[in-house]
Each structure stands twice: as C-alpha cells, then as structure tokens.
Amino acid sequence: MRITMVGTGYVGLVSGACFSDFGHEVICVDKDPSKIALLENGVMPIFEPGLEQLVARNVQAGRLSFTTDIAAGVTNAEAVFIGVGTPTRRGDGHADLSYVFAAAQEIAAALEAQSVGASDLLLVTKSTVPVGTGDEVERIVRQAAPNRVIRVASNPEFLREGAAIEDFKRPDRVVCGTDDGIARGMLSQVYRPLSLNQSAPVLFTGRRTAELIKYAANAFLATKISFINEIADLCEATGADVQEVSRGIGLDNRIGRKFLHAGPGYGGSCFPKDTLALLKTAEDYQSPLRIVEAVVAVNDSRKRAMGRKVIAAMGGEARGKVVTILGLTFKPNTDDMRDSPAIAIIQALQDAGATIRACDPEGMQQAAKMLTDVAFVEDPYEAVTDADVVVIVTEWDAYRALDLSRMAKTMRTLLMVDLRNVYAMDEVNSAGLTYVGIGKRDSALSTH
C-alpha cells in the first residue's frame, strides 16, 4: 500500500519506518527542511535504538523516502497518517491540536487541487488527540476538499521510547477507530503483516472510542505508578519493602507485574501531558475523573519530594554539599528530558544550597538547555570524586553495575540514594556506602 506519514517526530518517524519495513511504500513529510536533510543523509533526529538501521534498510530498498512538500507527499497516497505533535497548550492543560488541524487542512487542500476523479483517501490520526478530534478533522477536510472522498479514522500509537520499534512490530494490540467499512478494510491491509502471523489482535472500534482508549490506557498505567509510589512511602513508614509488596501483588494476574516499580515519579512526553489533557476532557464533559486527578497530584509532588529525600539522607543539610546525579533522562535508552523527574529533583537540591554534578549517557545535551549551574561530567567515577552523595535517578544499564568500592575511595561522604532500587542494600553497604532506596525498610527517612 502507498502510505504517507505527515510529521517525522518520534511517532511519525518510527511508524513510517516500520510501515515501510512491513513492505508498504512510505513517504515521510515534515515541514522542517533541516530534519528532512538529516534523514536524507541517514542521520536520525532522535535517539531510538535500531531506528537508523531500519531507516537505512528501507531507504535502500526504495520503500522509504522523505520530503518537505506535503502536496507531492500525498499525491499518490492511498492512506495518509497524521503523526504531528500534540503538546500541552500553554496556560490551560488542553492538548494543542493546531498542528493536527493544520496538517488535515493542508492534506485536504493538496488533494482538492489535484484532478477530480482521483481515488479516495484514508486519513488516519496517529497523534494522541482528545475525544471528538476526528469529528473536527472530518469537518475540516470536507470543507477543504468538497470534491474528494476522505475517510477519517483514528489509530492511536502505544509506543514506548527506547522500545518503539519492538512495540510497533510486536504490539499487544492495534486499535483502529472508524465505523466506515472501506476504511476498516484498508486499515486491515495496513496492519496485515501483524494479523498474518497472528502476532497482534487488531481491534476495530468507533472513532471516539479509539481516541479515548489511548488516554484511558496511559492514565491507567500512570495510576499504577502513582499507586505503587504511595505504597512505597507507606512501606518506609511501616518497615515494609515495596519491591516485595510489588511482587506479591503483581503475581496476581488480575493486577500484573508491569508498571509497579516504585521510583521518583513518571515523566516523559506522554504520561504527564496525556493525563492532564484527559482531565480537561473530563472537565469539559462534566464527568470527573477523581482517580486521575489524584494520580497527577501525587506525581507532581513526588518529584520535589525526592529532592527532600536526598537532603534528609544527607542529615537534613544541603548547603555546601556536592550531589552527584546519575541519570537525567525520564527513563533509560532515550535522550528525552521532557518532564524528567531529574529536573525537579536538581532544582529542589539547588534551592537548598547543594552543588550539582550530573552524568547521563545520552541526555546531557538536552539537560544543559533546561538546567543552570550544573556541572555535566561524562564519567561517573570522575563525577563522584569528593561528592557527599551519589543519587541514581535513571536506571541506565551503565549505572547498574558500578564499581562501588572504587567510588567509595574518592567520595567525601559515603552515601548512595537509589531512587530506582537497582542496587541491593547489602552490596552497597559492603562497599562501605550507606544505602537509601525507595520504599525500603532501612530507608525510612522523611520525604515530606
């Protein structure tokens, strides 16, 4: 099938490249000429494991190409996917849909300008958009292209950064929202490689249902995280161990083990933005989501609370102390710093007078744009020299098996605060360091 992807951000680029790997003929369109120039030279504008090879393979096979010209991009397309950003609108928390609407308008206008009698088009929103956006997209394209048949569907993505290609090719499910029989048939064709080897159920729903599934999924996952984070606090207060609690409840299949790792709070480009946008929808429809409200509030307060936890571990005083932060990105295997807990943690520590040194395998460049007065250091061993505490904020593999004895030799105060519970207390203690984890019996230090 001939597919065009509008937007070569995270979602657009990964989806476009994966569609071409399925065997479809794909054109990726982006307004930003510098991005297209990079892609044409085989350079990825984002860090995602395996993406560069995937793009190179499909470009070489002649199935994947890039352009800045939307009209040229959609000319021969059978299906056009919109994969542009939907950031949080400034001031009110609503999703900013201006890029989605502008893309719909441009696609329809380009089609309308082409010869009458050309074939129908399937227009699919992949971007995360609030319930009812498909209706508005349909209105826009009807107005801009009254002589063309454009079928509008919703096909939300569920890609995790760092595992996006795997998630695309081996998803738990694919959700396609449209009541139109022809659109359903075309979407079945698009995802045929997945149904052929029965690797994923393709779920057909109404368009509004598909739009809501995406938000409900993210809000539920965020709920699991805020839930286990509050349980972690209770573990610290009561002398229980959150990792054991998590395992103990997660082995119940009705609960499931995933997304029950206590930590410094969720971040990234999706959970914080999507939970807020869902709350706005709930407000608009006067149908409150009190659980999601609590999830957001718990997560917001948790990030700075982690800064206070580090200060408490240092005996309640941060002034004059050197804090080494290992891991800045919101999770490993990405360079994404958006809403990363590290930002609020570092700011809380700086406000209390601490000096910050920070390491991250991929995120230092992005972090430097968001933080001030932080010394960025490549090597974790160099970064802990004369430090008063080493704080694990992101569980990069590179920080999972550090030579703790080597660190202990150069640190000023022998203390580790492990906000991801990647180390066992015994091994840290035997290297000579005091250990403070999350939701652990001996880490019952005040965080509030």
Where b means 16+ CB within 10 Å and e means fewer, 115-140 reads eeeeeebbbbbbbbbbbebbebbbeb
Cβ-based nearer residue to ligand UDX, 68 or 347 = 347
- Answer for which of 106, 161, 233, 236 binds ligand UDX (CB under 6 A) is 161
Q: Rounded to the nearest whole angstrom, what is the least distance from the CB of residue 331 to ligand UDX in the complex?
A: 4
One of 151, 207, 261, 309 touching ligand UDX (CB under 6 A): 261
Under DSSP, the state recorded for 89 is P
**Does 259 engage in binding with ligand UDX (CB under 6 A)?**
yes
Asked if 158 is part of the footprint of ligand UDX (rule: CB under 6 A), the reply reads yes
Please name the residue that has the structure tokens 């360079």.
335
Q: Give the nearer residue to ligand UDX in terms of CB position, either 260 or 367.
A: 260
Q: Which residues contact 41 (CB under 8 A, 6 or more apart)?
A: none
Q: Tokens 């805020």 correspond to what residue? A: 226
Instruction: State which residue has the least CB distance to ligand UDX.
Output: 270
Under rule CB under 6 A, residue 260 binds ligand UDX = yes
CB closer to ligand UDX out of 73 and 162: 162
Cβ atoms within 10 Å of 362's Cβ, excluding its own: 19
Nearer to ligand UDX, 65 or 218 (CB): 218
331 is an interface residue for ligand UDX by CB under 6 A: yes
Does residue 199 contact residue 85 with C-beta atoms inside 8 Å?
no
236 lies in the binding site for ligand UDX (CB under 6 A): no
Q: Select the residue interacting with ligand UDX from 47, 99, 215, 271 (CB under 6 A).
A: 271
DSSP 8-class letter at 22 = T
C-alpha closest to that of 229 among 279, 271, 167: 271
Look up residue 332 and give its two tokens. Answer: 């490993």
Is position 270 annotated as part of the catalytic site? yes
Give the sign of the dihedral formed by CA 255, CA 257, CA 262, CA 267. Answer: negative
Contact 125/141 with Cβ under 8 angstroms?
no
**Binding residue for ligand UDX (CB under 6 A) from 70, 225, 374, 422?**
225
- For ligand UDX, the closer of residues 172 and 382 by Cβ is 172
Residues contributing to the site for ligand UDX (CB under 6 A)? 157-161, 218, 221, 225, 259-261, 263, 266-268, 270-271, 330-331
Active site residues: 270
